[in-house]
Amino acid sequence: MKAKQSEILKTITEKYGIRFSYSNNMVSLDKDVSLNVQGKSLKEVLDLLFTDHNVNYSVVGNQIVLKKKAVKKTADASADSRKGASSFVIVENANSITLNSVSNEKEEEISEDDFEEVQSDSSDKLEETLMVSSDTTVKAPVLKAKKPKGDDVVSLRKQYLLEKRRLRDEYLTKMDSLTSRGNKETKEDFKSSFKTISQKLREELNEIADSIENRAPVGVWKRLQKFDNTSDSLSGKEGQNSDSATYTTVPLSVTFVPPMGTNGMQGPKIVNKTSLNILAGTSRGLDGFEIGALVNVEKEFVNGVQIAGLSNIVGKNVNGVQIAGLTNSSSGYAEGVQVSGLTNVVKDSMYCFQFAGLVNSSGGNSLGGQFSGLVNFSNGYMYGPQCAGLANVANGMMTGPQLAGFINVANGSQKGIQSAGFMNVAKHNSEGCQLAGFMNTTGDLRGAQAAGFINVAKRVKGVQIGVINIADTVAGAQIGILNIAKKGYRRLEIWGSESLYGNIAFKMGGSRSFYNIFAVGAQIYDGGKLRTGYGIGFGSELKASQTICVNIDAISYNINEDGLWTNKLNLLNQLRVNVGIALGERTTIFFGPTFNVMVSQIYNADKNEYGSNIAPWTVFNETYDGRVDKGRKENTNVKMWPGFNAGIRF
């Protein structure tokens, strides 16, 4: 066929969903080419398409990115330089874009503030790969195409920002060097060319990022394989198995064991429409239905249904259903359903559901679902559920639920639900919910973590619920016994009240909206006896203005009567509502009412009464009959009273 390069790429995209990304002003695709693509793979077609046309191609995410081939800089690169100005030559290759400046005039000073014009976006969400060297060269490494691992867009943007920050320092160093020679024209040209390269790279980043974010679920890996099985796809003909045109196809094959069958010694070269294997059989491919008592082997492909007592083994791709007593195996990609008693294995990407008694494995990206009694494994992205009795592992981004009896692992980002009896791991970011019997860990969390013991995250936008919660920053709440946030809420308070005369407490949490309180208080009573209280609680702070805040705290103290510890039930429960007034950046005075509830089972034999006498007054005082213990009733006394407290907060 004969057509323009751009038209051929458009045909591939329309017919097979393979996306191409390139910049029109960098890559020209208007040349006419003649190709014979009958039976050729996509790689072979692209090699023919770009032969002698200075174009390289590689895979980024789920698309093919086109770049200009390396262009060697010649000795004439500075031939156009002229007096009083600089000449800039752009050289682009797979690793860098180089801007060479040639100048023979003096330069004038440009301040550091001038650089701010060049920086178009200092947001930490955007990153650019740029560098200024110590000589007169500005280098800007191109985002190199490689097979994605983890969250592609996040990785690209991190690279973008780190290099952009480095650029600022090196740019200023270069400008200082130009300033010492002092030529305003040269520096303005330098800045202008710098901005041009920066903008081109920014556009390239966004182009690639947008393409990745809009990718089809399974991705280009599976489609590249599928392209190999099509004939003359670029000429507009209907796709069919490209190699099948060279195969001998028979409507029915009956085999006892190879080569004892109707196909004889030619079995491995024949494609069967229907195949009956008394014990085992082998063929080049299946385009229909096959059943065997033990093993079915196809050297190339399966289009249809395979049923075997033990194993189905396919050398390349599967489109259809495989059912086996022990194992199903595909060395290419798979579309459809695999059901086995032990294992299902797909060495490339899969677009199917796998059901196995023990293990399901996909060597590439996965769209569908994996359900097994023991372990599910996907070596790339996983779109869909993974449910296993023991463990689920996705080596790339996980979108969908992971449900396991013991552990779930997503080595990329995770979107959806992770639920495990012991532990959930999302290496990068988690958006959704992590539920575990013991531990959850992730990078940035947007959603919820709930664990029987500990939750760990970097940045939290949502809630962590566990005995221990650990994070770097929290925009939400940490709910647990011990909440630790590196950039969280920490306060020290000293106050007095009518019940415990002296108190000290430490408040800590992920944010002011929810924090833990650890408190100690004491009271001298009855002429020198010491009553102490050890308390734990939680609270929330509301900002009324720049200098005024309101704190609502709930604390429960174990009150110890004339000793270090009282074993009987003797709890003082306080609700405090305090108004705080800031005296400076780190000091606040506070005051407010309290409401106290004292619940006690201690017994005063001298007075023949139950309860602590910590309350200075009461609005409620009742004793309730309880169980009989060692011949004596364990009654419970409840006292309630309003109070007041005031103190200072640091």
- Residue 28: its pLDDT value, please? 72
Q: Which two tokens stand for residue 316?
A: 């390349």
CA nearest neighbour of 142 among 158, 159, 119, 154: 159
Q: Regarding predicted confidence, which is higher, 520 or 78?
A: 520
Give the domain-ending residue among 479, 498, 522. 479
Are 208 and 224 in a shared domain?
Answer: no
Q: Give the pLDDT band (50/70/90) at residue 203.
A: low
Query: What integer is the mean pLDDT of 210-224?
Result: 43
Are 164 and 293 in a shared domain?
Answer: no
Are 546 and 406 in a shared domain?
Answer: no
In a domain, 484, yes or no: no
Give the domain-ending residue among 479, 506, 533. 479
Are 417 and 306 in a shared domain?
Answer: yes
Q: Which two tokens stand for residue 594?
A: 């309290």
In a domain, 206, yes or no: yes
DSSP state of 70: P
pTM summary value: 0.58
Are 222 and 190 in a shared domain?
Answer: no
Range with the poorest average pLDDT among 132-136, 153-157, 448-452, 547-551? 132-136
Distance CA 430, CA 444 (A): 6
Query: What integer is the mean pLDDT of 20-26?
Result: 70
In a domain, 268, yes or no: yes
Q: Where are the beta strands (DSSP E) in 379-458?
A: 382-383, 386-388, 391-394, 398-399, 402-404, 407-410, 414-420, 423-426, 430-436, 439-442, 445-451, 454-456
Q: Regarding predicted confidence, which is higher, 212 or 68?
A: 68
Are 150 and 222 in a shared domain?
Answer: no
Distance CA 17, CA 476 (A): 41
Instruction: List all residues 6 or more positions away from 180 whose beta carbon is below 8 Å from its beta carbon.
Output: none
In a domain, 67, yes or no: no
- Given a contact cutoff of 8 angstroms between Cβ atoms, the answer to whether 483 and 515 are in contact is yes
Distance CA 74, CA 139 (A): 17
How does pLDDT run across 296-316, given as a tens digit for each residue? 999 999 999 999 999 999 999
Averaged pLDDT of the chain: 77
Cis omega (within 30 of 0) for bond into 401: no
- Residue 102: its pLDDT value, please? 33
- Residue 66: its pLDDT value, please? 80
3-class DSSP assignment, residue 14: helix
Query: What integer is the mean pLDDT of 528-544?
Result: 92
Query: What integer is the mean pLDDT of 18-42?
Result: 72
Distance CA 615, CA 151 (A): 60
How does pLDDT run across 467-514, given as a tens digit for each residue? 999 999 998 889 999 999 988 899 999 999 999 999 999 999 888 889
String of DSSP letters for 223-255 = HHHHHTT-SSGGGTPPP--GGGGGSEEES-EEE
Are 31 and 170 in a shared domain?
Answer: no
In a domain, 599, yes or no: yes
Are 550 and 441 in a shared domain?
Answer: no
Radius of gyration of the chain (CA): 36
Helix, strand, coil proportions of the chain in percent (round to 5)?
15, 50, 35
- Residue 182: its pLDDT value, please? 58
- Residue 168: its pLDDT value, please? 56
In a domain, 330, yes or no: yes
Are 460 and 502 in a shared domain?
Answer: no
How does pLDDT run across 388-443, given as a tens digit for each residue? 999 999 988 888 899 999 999 998 888 889 999 999 999 888 898 999 999 999 98
Query: What integer is the mean pLDDT of 248-268?
Result: 91
In a domain, 271, yes or no: yes
Length of the chain: 650
Burial label for 534, CB within 10 Å (0-12, 13-18, 19+), is middle
Are 223 and 181 in a shared domain?
Answer: no
- Residue 565: its pLDDT value, please? 82
Range with the poorest average pLDDT among 170-174, 217-221, 646-650? 217-221
Domain of 587, CATH number, reads 2.40.160
Are 35 and 160 in a shared domain?
Answer: no
Are 364 and 399 in a shared domain?
Answer: yes
Amino acid identity of residue 424, one-letter, is N
Instruction: List all residues 6 or more positions away from 279 whose beta carbon is below 8 Å from its beta carbon.
Output: 256, 257, 292, 293, 294, 295
Residue 174, pLDDT > 90, answer no
Domains: count for the chain: 4
Give the domain-ending residue among 460, 479, 498. 479
In a domain, 68, yes or no: no
Q: Please, what sign has the CA dihedral across residues 52, 56, 58, 63?
A: negative
**What are 487-492's contacts with CB under 8 Å, separation 24+?**
489/515, 489/541, 491/515, 491/649, 491/650, 492/649, 492/650
Burial label for 22, CB within 10 Å (0-12, 13-18, 19+), is buried
Calculate the dihedral angle through the C-alpha atoms of 315, 321, 325, 326, rounding to the nearest 10 degrees. 40
Query: Domain range spanning residue 505?
Result: 489-649
Instruction: List all residues 6 or more positions away from 294 whose beta carbon is below 8 Å from its beta carbon.
Output: 277, 279, 280, 308, 309, 310, 311
Q: Regarding predicted confidence, which is higher, 395 or 116?
A: 395
User: Cβ–Cβ contacts within 10 Å for residue 145, how many?
Assistant: 20
The position carrying tokens 């003649």 is 34
Residue 221, pLDDT > 50, answer no
